[in-house]
Amino acid sequence: MADTNKKNNNNSLTLLLLLLITSVGVNFYQWKSHNGMVVSHGNEVDSLNTMRMNVERELGLTVIELEKYRGIAGNLDTLLNEANSQIAKQESVIKQLLASEKDGKKLSTKLKTEIAKLHKLRDEYLDKIDSLIAENDRLKSENLNLNSQVENLNEQKNLLAGKVATAAQLKAEYVKVSSFKKRSNGKYTESAIAKRTNKLEACFTLMDNKIAGTGDKLIYLLITAPNGKILMSYTKAQFTDSEGKFLDATASIKVDYTGAKQDLCLSYENDERILESGTYQIGIYADGLMVHQSNYILR
């Protein structure tokens, strides 16, 4: 009978130990699962915060990139106001998405789509801004050319009283400098922003001069960048000016001068958009003498 009681006690003790071990295991598993959920939740919160910061950065950069063109002209400011209104609508869509979408993966995918729309909106308005600046500059240039024509007429009258040597010098008048961007189809359209420009062109009239003499005349175009360097086209041109200085030229052309007016165009061109914003100096030389000098601004 004593042996039986002893055996029962041992069985009870074993059962208690098993129950205790099971309880400890269950508690450990629950603790570990809870910690895992806390870490996972923390990572998800960090990811959402990163997405929010990236979105705010993109919105801020878009506004800054467009706003730097404000103040150039009234019609350009009107276009910028329209752009800001569209950006504000896109910002509202993004903020609503951040507030409503709780699934991190879905939110990331949707945000990428909305950011792509924002970039497209920015690029569309940059193109509009570029075209508008180019049009404004063209109108200003035409107005300046009209004034220049009047001044040139007066200047020509004064030259009649000058020395023979001076009268024999060739003149370049009605100079028009233009900048262009090259489209994917190979066609050129006017541009005013340096980082979108592939070509700078100077068109002018080599004036009639019966005293200058006929025959071959070498005409050179020098475009000096804001950094002081001469822009060089695909073919390198060099010449010596009237003072004996050896100069690099952006472009050159040989013309058969008959003493009558001739319309000419010389240009700098590069498939890569490497130009910097700032003031470019335009110089035209004929027979080693500078016959025109002006400035041209790329924004």
> pLDDT tens, position by position, for the chain (299 residues)?
555 555 555 666 666 666 666 665 656 556 555 554 444 444 445 566 777 777 778 888 888 888 888 888 788 888 889 888 888 888 888 888 888 877 878 888 888 888 888 888 888 888 888 888 888 888 888 888 888 787 777 777 666 545 555 666 788 889 999 999 989 888 999 998 999 998 999 999 988 888 778 888 999 999 999 999 999 877 778 888 878 888 888 999 898 988 888 999 998 988 888 899 999 999 999 888 888 999 999 99
Residue whose pair of structure tokens reads 């910061």 in the numeric block: 53
Positive/negative CA dihedral, 117, 123, 128, 129: positive
Domain ranges in the chain are 2-129, 170-298
H-helix or E-strand spanning residue 135: helix 104-159
In whole angstroms, give the CA distance from residue 14 to residue 8. Answer: 10
What residues pair up with 243 in beta bridges, in sequence order?
none
In whole angstroms, give the CA distance from residue 178 to residue 171. Answer: 20
Listed residue (206, 295, 217, 285) closest to 245, CA to CA:
285
- 252 to each of 63, 113, 132, 235, 284, how far by Cα in Å? 43, 50, 31, 9, 10
Residue whose pair of structure tokens reads 């068109």 in the numeric block: 203
Q: Does domain 170-298 have CATH number 1.10.540.10?
A: no
What is the identity of the amino acid at 261? Answer: K
In whole angstroms, give the CA distance from residue 289 to residue 242. Answer: 6
- Answer whether 129's CB lies under 8 Å from 66's CB: yes
In whole angstroms, give the CA distance from residue 171 to residue 284. Answer: 10
